[in-house]
Chains A and B, each alone.
Chain A
Amino acid sequence: MIANLELLAGYPVLGLDLILNGLLIGAVFALAAYGMALVWGVMNIINIVQGELVILGGYIAWAAVGAGVPPLLCVPLAAFALGLLGWGLYGTVIRRIIERDLFISILATFGMSILLQQLMNQVFGADVRTVDSGFGTLSLMGGMVTVAQVKLFAFGLALLTGVGLWLFLSRARLGQAIRATAQNPRAARVLGIDTDRTYAATYALNAALCGAAGSLVVMAWTIHPYIGLQYTVRAFMIVIVAGLGNVAGVVFSGLGLGALENLAGFVLGAEFQVAFVFLLMVLVLIVRNLILSRRRSYLR
């Protein structure tokens, strides 16, 4: 660990490489986090199955590429497939837990997460998968900093999707219905908004976002049936730091998390990177709560 720190101090450009790559994956984290904030804010559900939806999106893209679909087309394809799945999940499970207390919804979505995880393991196997997108690698500063172009592409697409979503929520009729329902479901119902449909659309939209994020993950990085929960926790952490309904906050904390995690993974050793993510989440919760408790309050 000390040796790694010395290495980093000796070659700051190495840190730049880590941070840059971290920022790029951070955009994908932010995408999943945005979906989580949407579901949390509108439906008051903490969607623990979020990460599995991301990974499933990745598997769909992987399967599609295997079947001969060009990689770029896989992003909308995965988003569409996951959107459909999200609609179905809403109809079967989510709509029944929406008015229940948060323990029930956490446990139910956790159950869904285990179900999907095991299903993916059963269907796609336990191997680590990735997709070759056919992009090259960008070398900067005489080869000290290397960035796979596909990561740049993923970064751009993630931001673009975020902007599109933001426009949708502020301009489109359905988007406005979603925001109205988030603020006051009863008032929205009185005003003639079909809240059940709005919830379904919100959940499907979230699943589609996860699908898109997953297809980017499988192209630029790797996937595995059991790593979904990491994406859930990252999304959760980003939402806690940024707050609900704060798009810029989500993007910046997503990017920050990506960079921090990459640096920590290098310093502590790659085997502890995931532990770092989870401990950081616990730490974020505790610190936020401590700050609040000095103001005689607690995290609500």
Chain B
Amino acid sequence: MEEFVRLRALAAPLMRDNIDTDVIIRIDRLVGGRPDEVGKYAFELLRYLPDGGENPDFVLNREPFRRAQILLAGANFGCGSSREPAVWALQQMGFRCVVAPSFGDIFFANCFQNGMLPVVMERRTVEAIAAEVEADAAHGFVTVDLQKQTIVSPSGKEFRFEIEPARREALLHGLDEIGMTMRREAEIAAFQSRDRNRRPWIYR
């Protein structure tokens, strides 16, 4: 997994609540599609017009936001379906970090499996950063520092964020969760052996 330590990049505001994973990537692009090609279909119904052309009104189609690597979003971002390609689609668009007041729980967990940093910040803070970015988009550079757990707005305002320590550690060092659990095989075997006596009906 790719490490995430510090990122200074353009931010794009998509300040609408309840952006669900169906909107991020449609399911019919996953059925039979290639996982490494989902990026071009990200936000498909917002990003493209019915004739296939780009929708000029969609914020991520506009300069300089099409080069943004940090997404500022409304509450409940990534709600809905558990589809992990929603994270892959954002990554393939170039995003490495999403800042929002709240996230869908499964999307939030999926981010950490892929080196994507989801940052929870108070709504008014996300809105304040988004307002700065919108006021001067060309200079809308935001710095996300996972080591220091801070976000610095374009004008230099610094905000601290909380993140669960194990997840921070895994992102900082690009640790693979499955590999780490594989090392606990003895504990898993011991658990199952005890559990088999206690709850034999589980082991069919």
The answer to whether A and B assemble together is no
